[in-house]
Structure 1
């Protein structure tokens, strides 16, 4: 059945999106998420998921975060394709690519003279929450750990939430080996802000949730 559009832009069916709607959703979600990553990076913080791994490698080896974020997610795309389908995988690939590029561009066009770690954690977490909500609404995501967690749950019966929590705990534990304890604690604050925001504002029965 043909998808009806209003004003040639948005779908009259609330359960479906036009190409234009998906495009603006992915771009806006990626832009907001990239800004959240930029604020965290500006004060040396990190977060959970594959982004947390990219941050750790970035701080340890001084390699571009955007490049690392793109590379770290590569192993999960096949699993995403098998479990969640081509459309979700393709849009997630695009979103991650956009974030990787935008985080590099922001360093050239956005300069912040001073940012307190608390404010970086708070605003970074909130911006990532807003960005992820936009991406979830358009059936996309920013990471592969959630996909792996779903696979482990289906294969071995271990709850996906516990897998995600254990992975994030490992990321934060590894951070204590590279970063000052205070920085890691502020990072945990940012991660809590992000997850509380998503828990309050996101319904998993309405949108796909994979971080």
Structure 2
């Protein structure tokens, strides 16, 4: 093994992750300071608590985020992987620093609905970039893992409970509309995070049970230039041996593959499913991961 090349590749990977976390944290900071805080919208997790403390006592959000996350990092020393913890510390440090550096940026809008929508989009993009870079922006994830080990609840249930408690507190201390906008903001941000993580180029997987597998497979490979996999199967009711065709295609190729299947076997059983992300020949490569 070429250890120098291995070390250089490892260093480059860490550098790419670091740059991604810095960019993502900066985008989230801009979203919070130009859309969320000027329109008095809350957030979930520890960042939401930091924003509430800012509304109540005018505490700097950047410092509040850092101080709230500090005890969780101490708890997480033995609970999470070393690299994840390091990248999380980098993420929280950058988020805190950028929140302080961008605090004087002007508000992009004073329309609360627009701020919740576009704040969710912008924050979702930033968080998605951080997650793709193997990091996090801290928050209640570590706390949820700790409680999940000592309670019958899952991590997801605990995170949902924490966010629900924050939104209820916002509705009581301020006004219900504030919590409603916060939930809209978080819903949009969550969806955008998924888009950044999975990509926009959703593909389709096609599974075909047919009596003419070879003809269909050959035509798919010839006309669409897509790889095809054949599985051996047995009908549970008839006991007959069958072959199953499996193929992944782009959305634009869906009508073509339907025509091929219908032409060769109009009686074929066809199941088509969404595939959020495909890595391999003919699709995306591992380089972007």
Query: TM-score, length-normalised on structure 1?
Result: 0.82
**Equivalent pair of 2:89/2:138 in contact (CA under 8 Å):** no
The structural deviation recorded for 1:201 is: 4.8
2:53 aligns with one of 54, 57, 60? 57
Q: Point out where structure 1 has 5 or more consecutive residues left out of the alignment.
A: 204-211
Aligned to 2:16: 21
**Equivalent pair of 1:17/1:138 in contact (CA under 8 Å):** no
Query: Per the alignment, do residues 3 and 31 of structure 1 end up closer, same or farther by CA in structure 2, a change over 3 Å counting?
Result: farther
Greater percentage in strand:
2
Counting matched residue pairs gives 195
Secondary structure at the aligned position of 2:50 is classed as helix
Query: TM-score, length-normalised on structure 2?
Result: 0.62
Secondary structure at the aligned position of 1:84 is classed as coil
**Which is higher, the Rg of structure 1 or of structure 2?**
2
Aligned to 1:42: 38
**1:119 to 2:114 alignment:** yes
1:191 aligns with one of 186, 190, 198? 186
1:148 aligns with one of 125, 136, 143? 143
Aligned-residue RMSD, C-alpha: 2.3
Higher relative contact order (CA 8 A, sep 6+): 1
Provide Cα deviations, 1:28-59, integer angstroms capped at 9, x if missing partner.
Answer: 01111111222211211111111111111111
The structural deviation recorded for 1:116 is: 0.9
Q: Point out where structure 2 has 5 or more consecutive residues left out of the alignment.
A: 199-289
Distance 2:62 2:15 in 1: 26
Provide Cα deviations, 1:160-199, integer angstroms capped at 9, x if missing partner.
Answer: 1110000000000111233222222111110111123334
